[in-house]
A and B are shown apart, each in its own frame.
Chain A
Amino acid sequence: MNAKKIILFFLIVLFFTVSCKQADEPPGENARLKVVATIFPLYDFARNIGGDKIKVTMLLPPSSDPHHYELKPDDIIRIGKTNVFLFTSFEMEPWARKVIDTVADKKNMLAVETGQGALFLPLPQHHEHHSGNPSGLKENNADHAAKADPHIWLDFDNAQKMIDNITKAFILKDPINSLFYEKNARDYKFRLIDLDKKYREQLSNCKTRTILHAGHWAFAYPAKRYRLQYMAAYNISTDAEPSPQQILALIEKIKDQKLPYIYYEDLAAPRLAATIASETGAGLLKLSNGQDISKKDILNGISFVSLMERNLENLKKGMQCP
């Protein structure tokens, strides 16, 4: 029977996949500090601070959504065996609490909320039927206290705070190498300060000052920091349809300000961006939120700093900065 054969085939595939996953780590890794980071920015920070004294893995597979991530049974075991578990915040990864509670060996594992002490911006409220205002425009002027915007690492001051939290954790767990960690952290922070300076200078004199983003709300932090206007098509949840009036608002804004470029995010096929672009003749530029990384990018050795540099190039181009 057709159906039976298909079921059998998939069961066999499943069996082989599961057994193959039991591949153990090669011996000799026990000397290094074991670190698990949830998303790419944390992973990259950890990599830079820890160097070859740690072994860090990224929990979330590339191209997955951290907010809705479903823990696999493997994951809890893996995190349990680790020394340091890095996550952004309970806002960003609400399931982190579950992990921490479930992990067997709490003595061994240190969970680090890397976003502690960072400056959080609230998420915008959804404006509906504003009479004066073209309704639905989500500008970065949230008036009511709402949930927090999790993309804190895009503010380089916050990033530095996160570096500090990670360094503290490494030192706690591996005091022998504390000087090593501290030096790396210092060096990395300088790179971030330098990056910040470049952003500030190069974005100071642009023709337009609007980041029009046909994607999910993510760039409030750099927008605030560098005094730019930011407009996004969707709010955070990945599966919402953009509201029709919001699409119109974005199109009208582009036409009003004669914006030559519109930004799209990585990974999600830029359908909305393409639609808006075809309607306005605007060009498309990619803007990375630091966390949506494709498998290809990781293989190509992408780093947080290089992503932010790429962003800067595209911001300059899009906003026509000298």
Chain B
Amino acid sequence: MPVVRVDNLTFRYNGIDVLSNISFAVEKGLYLGIVGPNGSGKSTLIKNILGILRPEKGRVELFGRPLSDFRQWERIGYLPQRLSALNTHFPGTVEEIIQMGLSKKNQDTLTRTLKMMAIAHLGSRLIGELSYGEQQRAMLARALIRRPELLIFDEPTTALDPETREMFYSLTGEMNQQEGTTVILVTHDIGVIGEYARNLLYLDKKVIFSGTFKEFCSSRDMAGIFGPSSQHIICHQHDRTGGTI
């Protein structure tokens, strides 16, 4: 049973097709990178998968259940691309944000998660007072605290400082490899993907490519779209971190 399954999804905004006939499946334990140029509909796709937006056509299944029937949201950890209008004065401490919606609030779990993100000293500060990097760490902590089976990140590391970036990727890589957590990572920076994701979904309003990274790099069609030198750079990068090509 795939963790996420999308069938023939079409989403329209103001009469224009933003996503057109998207179909793919994400099996358990996968580390999927969703890439594509700006405006290709990546965030929109994620929002459709999570039920934030409703598609014109098609269906989404989460953990084998249709989206409309799905209730086990604690199995999913989501890090949105941008918090809508985060007011610096929003009265929410880091602790409150991280424990948002948790039915069972456990102080130990909270402390552990804070330590893991190296923000233990920021627990009672207001979220708006934190630097961007610290905020992202807090948001990641929020996504991880439930130990979800599926992690969905939308452009998590753009404009992040190197330490946070590093922490982010090593943590998620660990969870993926040691606990079999499924990871979906959305980014427009294909070079980043190459280092971590084993699977790739290339999106530009339609599915351009869906398969393993290995297949992407050896594909003639991809060479045709990106140009052989670009393809080489991308795939060569992947090589450096010890992947097989």
Q: Assess A/B contact in the complex (Cβ within 8 A).
A: no
Interface residues of A (CB under 8 A from B): none
Interface residues of B (CB under 8 A from A): none
